Structure 1
């Protein structure tokens, strides 16, 4: 099991006696600029304000008690390292004060051209994958600026920015614009749209016995019919906290009740709750299927969530501590220092062989699971390479208030290779479509349901 508290204690011991005694006192009335991410931090007494910056504006992103949002890992006169609850630490440099635009609100309305330039500059400073996505970003500026200078409405600006986002083709880039500015899709020939939850239920009904589920099906498990093979479906890398009783976990109001408890918890507590929830449910799962001859882990429908959850789950299927990945972030001056992540096995981890099912819909934190799993010979993969979007979403804001996200963190395996854009490959290729609708429909021939991955696994044991 990964002992984050022990790691934090060791790091704090290296700070020196004064920092151990009261690091929050030393942070009182200080200002800091984050390395990468385009953000800064103001700390007054024990409270903080965390700002998003661009060339035109600086707006508060979050605020509250410093010890409820960040763990202080190191602190000296000029540098501060904080952990926000994930596996990536944030490094800050001390500043005499925040930029004036963080404390002075400018009520002037930005032009369409200024909004475009902030959008372009933010990607230029922080987006890490132009090369992997085969994008000439300077050429994008030259191509689109003349068009931007001619627009006369927010709708035209939205269309141009959405066109650029589509050109990049990164599933972690999102642009939040008002609904009235969105172009409605043309009505075409009706198509059958299969639902993820219906496919998951069909897999369970057709192939499993001794079925169980936790937290409204975020994770479910059982055994393949007529075999000694265990099966584990992980639908998401969020919502593992034990906030709702077992009696209420499958009720229609589960999400409402879950969110009510979650929203009452401080951010750092939420991360800890998630990991405690993983440990709690994995104890039950190991009791039920931990003696299986082998286990299938299905991540084909998992779009991501918390990387800490993904790696804690994986820790139950490995028996050796290994360096499984490194992370660095894009900055204006170059990348931040690489942070190595060492994955440690959980107590009473599964000892047998694992078949990991992946698809083009396996994304983000689920891909981090797959990326780390590559380092263990007992884990074999089947399906199709993953989506190829690993970074946390870095959320930024245009002067007009539109929010957008981008990928600024570079995840690599222990050999320094990144799978951004191409995804984590599989050893047993099933050629699933990269298109979600086509992938879902591939499980059906008319009304007949079949899962070729599960069929192939069942053939292996007959």
Structure 2
């Protein structure tokens, strides 16, 4: 379970802790740490937002997911590599890496996650909350309560999606008794979150996964992705597509000096289950981008006159990889978007200080000519942050197609007392520091054309692609290099 694919275990964990549940207290640090003005990393740390509490003991780290009524073990990791020059340490949870770095004042540390953008902040606790060492009740009503409370403390979009969460509790909790079966409980939990129509929500009992999408859209499954790729090759692209990343990255030179770049994921480039890890995915993406954006394609008399970027079926993945692509499309740094998280478990309108996420131009050849960006309802998660990051580019792409799905946040991957797993978002990605976001509605196109309607698929027609060609061919030659 993930952020559709963007954001696996660590990148989406936790739940915001109720202020009354965890009392922050200072604790002594080792003499060596005091000597250099930095805290030792050993100890217990509470994350600002997310509801995550980390216990660090030497080379081991254990994470607990907390709410005002619960504390459940979430994941465990092991320290890898040497201590950094500023006292930072990196931990591995499977093949996912995160780094803790001491901050000033001495009772704080920051966390960065290898495949996620932005920084998270933690403050030292005197000890683990008492609830974390107590067995968690796993009866049906207790399971429901933890599920409901986690959403209450973290989910930002109840009002925007028209769901009364308090009324949901009153309606569904009354159905639960000590004899409620697992099947009944799974149905009840599904009935609670399904009306949100949020593709970053999901529930799994180990055999069945429920993950909704916005009505009228198609989830970007691997089967759907491959069928659309075959359609594009047969009806849109007249030259063979060159593929990388298990087919998630594809490129072709089209007649008239137009390039076509198709991106259907920002993860899974080297293995279907992510077992090869982020570094391998990034290396595969770099190889593809080095092959695509050659000096001849971006400079001189044979340079591309325009570039179609097909983001219409994109299941998401890592925002870092999405920005790696954007870095090949600009010669100037700029702010891609801002990022903030819910910061008060009792007030859904309270958020952390927005953090700017920046685009840095690549040192490799970059393309800075005109772009037609194709999007639709199957553009999800990191596929959407990619589209949003391109909006600040100069010249900005022309967006053609339909609204994206409308889910941008990393997902919190949470556990329930009975062992089930669920996911939900707790972050917002505003366009500007204090501006609106495209959550719920999705990023709208500038030229609205239905994406892969049944009648066009049957006729072998693609009006979105044809419009992109028309737009780029009409571009003035002096607007690109």
Same fold (TM over 0.5): yes
Task: Output one character per residue of 1:58-77: Cα deviation in whole Å (capped at 9) or x when no partner.
Answer: 21412211513322344242
Residue 167 in structure 1 maps to residue 195 in structure 2: yes
Describe the SS at the equivalent of 1:340: strand
Equivalent position to 1:205, from 226, 230, 234: 234
Structure 1 pair 137–405 and aligned structure 2 pair: CA distance change class (3 A): same
1:385–1:425 CA contact under 8 A, matched in 2 = yes
Equivalent position to 2:175, from 123, 147, 150: 147
Describe the SS at the equivalent of 1:381: strand
Describe the SS at the equivalent of 1:57: strand
Task: Output one character per residue of 1:353-410: Cα deviation in whole Å (capped at 9) or x when no partner.
Answer: 0000001000000100111111223311100010001011101111111110001011
Task: Output one character per residue of 1:87-138: Cα deviation in whole Å (capped at 9) or x when no partner.
Answer: 1212111001111333x351x6432221111111110111111122122211
Residue 58 in structure 1 maps to residue 76 in structure 2: no
Unaligned runs of 5+ in 1: 1-17, 183-192, 244-254, 263-269, 433-438
Instruction: Give the number of the structure whose residues are more often helix, by fraction.
Output: 1
Equivalents in 2 of 1:180, 1:199: separation in Å?
A: 26
Equivalent position to 2:151, from 114, 118, 123: 123
Describe the SS at the equivalent of 2:73: strand
1:394–1:406 CA contact under 8 A, matched in 2 = yes
Alignment of 1:449-460 (within 5 A): 449-459=460-470
2:74–2:415 CA contact under 8 A, matched in 1 = no
Question: Larger deviation: 397-406 or 73-82?
Answer: 73-82
Equivalents in 2 of 1:429, 1:444: separation in Å?
A: 18
Runs of 4+ in 1 over 6 A off after TM superposition: 18-23
Residue 430 in structure 1 maps to residue 446 in structure 2: no
Describe the SS at the equivalent of 1:201: helix
Structure 1 pair 419–151 and aligned structure 2 pair: CA distance change class (3 A): farther
Describe the SS at the equivalent of 2:256: coil
Alignment of 1:22-421 (within 5 A): 26-54=39-67, 55-65=69-79, 66-68=89-91, 69-76=97-104, 77-85=106-114, 86-102=116-132, 104-106=133-135, 109-149=137-177, 152-179=180-207, 195-206=224-235, 207-224=237-254, 226-240=255-269, 255=271, 262=276, 270-287=277-294, 289-290=297-298, 291-331=303-343, 332=345, 334-347=350-363, 348-376=365-393, 377-414=395-432, 416-421=435-440
Deviation at 1:148, TM superposition (A): 2.6
1:303–1:365 CA contact under 8 A, matched in 2 = yes
Describe the SS at the equivalent of 1:412: coil
2:225–2:264 CA contact under 8 A, matched in 1 = no
Equivalents in 2 of 1:37, 1:458: separation in Å?
A: 44
Structure 1 pair 181–200 and aligned structure 2 pair: CA distance change class (3 A): closer
2:74–2:414 CA contact under 8 A, matched in 1 = no
Structure 1 pair 201–181 and aligned structure 2 pair: CA distance change class (3 A): closer
Equivalents in 2 of 1:371, 1:229: separation in Å?
A: 23
Structure 1 pair 208–141 and aligned structure 2 pair: CA distance change class (3 A): same
Aligned to 1:186: none
1:74–1:82 CA contact under 8 A, matched in 2 = no
1:38–1:52 CA contact under 8 A, matched in 2 = yes
Task: Output one character per residue of 1:337-367: Cα deviation in whole Å (capped at 9) or x when no partner.
Answer: 2111121222321021000000100000010
TM-score (norm 1): 0.80
Equivalents in 2 of 1:200, 1:417: separation in Å?
A: 33
TM-score (norm 2): 0.77
Equivalents in 2 of 1:398, 1:423: separation in Å?
A: 30
Equivalents in 1 of 2:353, 2:404: separation in Å?
A: 26
Deviation at 1:20, TM superposition (A): 12
1:358–1:383 CA contact under 8 A, matched in 2 = yes
Structure 1 pair 20–295 and aligned structure 2 pair: CA distance change class (3 A): farther
1:236–1:303 CA contact under 8 A, matched in 2 = yes
- How many aligned residue pairs are there? 401
Unaligned runs of 5+ in 2: 1-31, 80-88, 92-96, 211-220, 475-481
2:375–2:445 CA contact under 8 A, matched in 1 = yes
Structure 1 pair 96–109 and aligned structure 2 pair: CA distance change class (3 A): closer
2:139–2:178 CA contact under 8 A, matched in 1 = no
Q: CA RMSD for the aligned pairs?
A: 2.7
Equivalents in 1 of 2:125, 2:251: separation in Å?
A: 51
